[in-house]
Amino acid sequence: MNTKNLIIAFGIGIALSLTTAPLQGQGQGGAANRPAAAKPWPPQKLSDGQPDVQGIWAAVNGGSTSLTNPISGGEDFDRRVTGENIRRPSRVIDPPDGLLPYQPWAAARQKRQESDYEHPSKPEHIDTQHRCLISGIPRLYTIVPSFRIIQIPGSVVFVWDEYHAYRVIPLDGRPHIAPNVKLWIGDARGHWEGNTLVVDTTNLRGARLTYIGDFFSENAHVTERMTFVDADNMTYQATVDDPTVFTRPWTFRIGHRRRPDDETWESACWEGNPDPDVWLKK
């Protein structure tokens, strides 16, 4: 490859990461300042034809605060201390206004849960993460801890070591499990479209999505697209279709990046969790 082609390829790379992963690089100097990818790209093919994307990954700006104003934990602290109204671009890319398209009753419910979260007086006002319940799909892709991708013949496996959460995604097109079975992690069936892993997730339990009380019901159907845009970047996009809670399907997007140096330790959250009373304001 001559120099001119290299420059063009680099330019296309930047353009791609800008168009497909708008959140990546925020506050981190942007794509242009990142070192050149060390891993081979396009990815090598595994024995069953999957692109090899194994390794440790994490959301670029992780956190459970909010999807529509995804401020970091530090910013949340600043906001509480200073009273300053810090805004970050919504992760919701559809609808275009960046808001969750709740039905009126559900919008009122979310507002109440946000207020309850600030002033908890009952156990159900405490977010599921603090109760040590497993965060399900798609919330696990929005949080801080890194996860590991392992690919075995016929499946892609995601493991959040710290939360001892895992999801095995079969690629063989097998049918979904019985509809009465509800799982926090859902029932995932996947296939590869080039370097994009497309996952169809059903059998979800109704769950909280954020600290501020966003939620969906057990009728939610989630379609995920994980696009590996280069050796070190992945764009996670999930479309939530839940006619019980929302007026229309909606989609959010979060950039993920390789974090090869992350260490993953057991968190044993439940084993050390205090009685919820310690958080309640009574």
* Binding piece for another protein, criterion CB under 8 A, among 8-16, 84-92, 225-233, 270-278: 270-278
Q: Of 113, 201, 202, 235, which one interacts with another protein (CB under 8 A)?
A: 113
Contact between 102 and another protein by CB under 8 A: the answer reads no
From the list 156, 175, 140, the residue with the least C-alpha distance to 256 is 140
Contact between 184 and another protein by CB under 8 A: the answer reads yes
Nearer to another protein, 184 or 250 (CB): 184
Q: How far apart are CA 195 and CA 6, in angstroms?
A: 22
Q: How far apart are CA 110 and CA 121, in angstroms?
A: 16
Nearer to another protein, 19 or 44 (CB): 44
* Binding piece for another protein, criterion CB under 8 A, among 24-32, 59-67, 92-100, 211-219: 211-219
CB of 136 to another protein, least distance (A): 9
CB atoms within 10 A of CB 69: 19
Nearer to another protein, 19 or 219 (CB): 219
Q: How far apart are CA 86 and CA 73, in angstroms?
A: 12
Sign of the CA dihedral 168, 174, 176, 177? negative
SS3 readout for 76-96: HHHHHHHCCCCCCCCCEEECC
String marking each residue 213-242 x if it binds another protein according to CB under 8 A: --xxxxx-----------------------
Q: How far apart are CA 219 and CA 244, in angstroms?
A: 7
Sign of the CA dihedral 204, 255, 165, 158? positive
Contact between 181 and another protein by CB under 8 A: the answer reads yes
Q: Are 236 and 224 in contact (CB under 8 A)?
A: yes
CB of 143 to another protein, least distance (A): 16
From the list 41, 70, 57, 61, the residue with the least C-alpha distance to 257 is 57
Contact between 277 and another protein by CB under 8 A: the answer reads no
Contact between 165 and another protein by CB under 8 A: the answer reads yes
Q: Are 66 and 214 in contact (CB under 8 A)?
A: yes
Contact between 130 and another protein by CB under 8 A: the answer reads no
Contact set for another protein, span 38-57 (CB under 8 A): 46-47, 54
* Binding piece for another protein, criterion CB under 8 A, among 19-27, 67-75, 128-136, 139-147: 128-136
- Count of chain residues binding another protein (CB under 8 A): 52
CB of 253 to another protein, least distance (A): 22
Contact between 185 and another protein by CB under 8 A: the answer reads yes
Sign of the CA dihedral 238, 212, 94, 24? negative
* Binding piece for another protein, criterion CB under 8 A, among 77-85, 138-146, 221-229, 260-268: 260-268
Q: Which amino acid belongs to residue 93?
A: I
Torsion angle of C-alpha atoms 7, 10, 16, 22, degrees rounded to 10: -120
Interface positions with another protein (CB under 8 A): 46-47, 54, 105-106, 109, 113, 123-124, 128, 131-134, 148, 150-153, 157, 159, 161, 164-166, 168, 170, 174-175, 177, 181, 183-185, 205-208, 215-219, 244, 263-266, 268, 270-271, 276
